Amino acid sequence: MISDGNDDDDTVTSGKLLPRQDESDNAAVLMDDLIRHVDNEGAFQNAFNNLFNFFAVIVGVMSVYSLVLAMKVPNHWCHVPGRDNTNLTLTEWKNYTLPRDKDNREMFAYSKCLMYNVTIPLVVPYNKRDLGVVNCQYGWEYDRRWFHKTVPSQENWVCDKSLYVTNTFVVTQIGEAVGTIFFGHMSDTVGRRPVFLITLALLIVGRGLSVLTPSYYWLYLVTVFLGHSALSSLCFAATTIGIELSQSEHRAYIVMLQSLGWTSGMCLIPLLAWLTADWTEFVLLPLLPASCIFICSCSLFIESPRWLASRGKISRCLATLRHIADNNKLELPDSAENTLRRVAEQSRGKVLGPSSFLSSTRLATNTALLVTCWMLNCVSYVILLLNVNNMSGNPFLNFFWQSAVELPAGFVAKWLSDRVGRRSTQTFTFLVIAASSFCVSRIVNNPNLHEVTTTTIIFVKFCVTITNFVCYLQAMEIFPTCLRQTGMSVANVAGNAGGVLAPYVVYLGSHINQKYPYIVLCAMALLGTAVSSFLPETLNKKLPDNIKDAKYFGRNEKYWSFCKKSSEGESYTNFR
């Protein structure tokens, strides 16, 4: 057992800690009962989740992650003028004009950045040993089998500018880190609704301007930063409200619904890119439905009643609950206002921001464990996502299958987390990721095992999706209402801080050796196995509403145990 050393506020009876406050007066129980009166499974909640936790997520994901394929670097080589005046095939021309060197598969291939120092017009045959080797003198040619145009092929971000692509992805991680910490804290202080509206507008503007600015690299990075600063906070705001309007056994369903929206958006990206083959088109098209959702959200996206009550905004909370009840054809009980005042009285206090996570040893410990797991999951996901451009074969199918596998992974994650518990699911899945990534590192450079390698990589993505799902759910359930989105933002910032290194890990794989990203994945998964085993089990536990609730969450749990089926009414007292 881990004690936080703060036992003075409790009464010890028969070796067990008992709360001084009666359970019927607990803010979480009071709020749960009130939300049940307006039907926490009603038509309003279903409509809200379908629109904002599913369709809005699809559109947001398509708008943001279309950048991955837009930044695809096609196979390229030095352009040497003169082949049109000969009857040589492209392969024969390359043989006369390009040297060979080892690629990232440890195989000899035509150089992408060097050419023989030939005289134009070229007269063949000639002795190549008499010629020196120089950098590309006349630009580059690109393999246009899959794309007519991408950002790197349009702007020639290759060879001495190859880090332009890597640095662009680094900026996406920095943008997401800055956006989530800023908008996350804003969500807990100003409200979930304004954050959703601001981030959706920022996503539309940032991604739209990116199409106009790639010729001005630094300005292009600014637009990329703006677009990526919005998505996580947009999703967090919608999911937070969805969970705060639901009963405990439906929290995993809401996370799964958003996971389905995320997967659907990721699967649509390669299909749209395949149809258009032009980065400007498949980046701009998702912005049309995004604009429509923004218009709808101005009137349909409500503020969280739990947040309003915790901030003492009784009138607005009552109005919101009546709005939900009316849509569900129900009525609020006469005691609703008194109940909200009791909730506000228990929850009142200043939101201190990230420093509040250090207010007790238990909360600090849970936060540190969650943040570490979130960071490992985030970095693993980004490495796999970006590394899809380095895989051989059809880039659209590679992207699609790595995205489509998230769909069954979401169902499996929900089933496992609801049956065997959140902690057990994440810990054992991390262990499977480590073993699978190690296997990939051993076979990835063998062209004869291409299909086995691709299948194993897809399986790794399947497992990473499960750990992502569970970690996201644990964060929703461990952080208290007054700091829930701030806590998730802190975790996401840590994830993005680690994610800054992910593009460079992928760069090692694309320019030095393909096995390096999978060695890194294996090491991170082993660390995740150890760290996640210390997290408290959250299955069927009441959501903590304030710092005091969070202080006791998971306090007296054993280091490792399989969870038991809990009754619907189980609350914080079970941890004390």
pLDDT tens digits along 275-324? 998 999 999 999 999 988 888 888 788 888 888 887 788 888 888 888 88
> Greatest CA separation found in the chain?
97
pLDDT of residue 342: 78
| 94: confidence class by pLDDT, cuts 50, 70, 90 | confident
Q: Quickly count: other Cβ atoms within 10 Å of residue 564's Cβ.
A: 9
Q: What is the pLDDT of residue 435?
A: 94
Q: Other CB atoms closer than 10 Å to residue 358's CB: what's the count?
A: 12
Tokens matching residue 219: 């300005």
Amino acid found at 112: K
Provide the pLDDT confidence category of residue 575 given band limits of 50, 70 and 90: very low
Half-sphere exposure of 450 (CA within 13 A, CB side): 9
Nearest to 514 by CA among 393, 392, 430, 403: 392
Residue 345: pLDDT over 80: no
Q: Which of 10, 70, 91 is nearest to 395 (CA)?
A: 70
Q: Are 183 and 489 in contact (CB under 8 A)?
A: yes
User: Do 150 and 68 meet the contact criterion of CB atoms below 8 Å apart?
Assistant: no
More confident call, 552 vs 19: 552
Cα dist. 78→116, 141, 215, 494, 500 in Å? 10, 6, 21, 41, 31
Residue 119 has φ and ψ, to the nearest 5°, of: -95, 135
Question: Of 153-167, 337-351, 400-414, which gets the smallest average pLDDT?
Answer: 337-351
**Angle of helix 484-499 versus helix 231-244 axis, rounded to 10:** 150
CA distance 565 to 373: 25
Q: Are 238 and 52 contacting, i.e. CB atoms less than 8 angstroms apart?
A: yes
Distance between CA atoms of residues 146 and 396, nearest Å: 8
Task: Work out the pLDDT band at 536, boundaries 50, 70, 90.
Answer: confident
In this structure, the number of other CB atoms found within 10 A of the CB of residue 132 comes to: 8
Stretch 227-256: mean pLDDT, rounded?
A: 81
What number is the average pLDDT over the span 526-532?
A: 91
Beta-bridged to residue 140, according to DSSP, are: 78
The answer, yes or no, to whether residue 532 has pLDDT greater than 70, is: yes
- Residue 367, pLDDT score: 84
Lowest mean pLDDT among 235-244, 334-343, 350-359: 350-359
> What pLDDT is recorded for position 333?
77
- Rounded average pLDDT over 245-271: 83
Assess contact for 337 and 524: CB atoms under 8 A: no
Query: Residue 502 — very low, low, confident or very high, per pLDDT cuts 50/70/90?
Result: confident
| Residues in Cβ contact with 448 at an 8 Å cutoff, skipping those fewer than 6 apart | none
Bigger pLDDT: 500 vs 206:
206
Q: How far is Cα 534 from Cα 536, in angstroms, rounded to an integer?
A: 7
pLDDT tops 70 at residue 554: no
Instruction: List phi, psi (to 5°) of 133.
Output: -115, 135
Q: What does DSSP assign to residue 481? A: G
Q: Tokens for 44?
A: 């309003």
* pLDDT tens for each residue of 429-482: 999 999 999 999 888 888 788 788 888 999 999 999 999 888 888 887 787 766
Question: What tokens appear for 137 in the block?
Answer: 């003198």
Band of residue 128 on the pLDDT scale cut at 50, 70, 90: low
3-state secondary structure string, 228-258? HCCHHHHHHHHHHHHHHCCCHHHHHHHHHHH
Average pLDDT, the chain: 80
- Residue with more model confidence, 86 or 69: 69
- Find out whether 284 and 208 touch, Cβ atoms under 8 Å: yes
**First and final CA of the chain: distance in angstroms?**
12
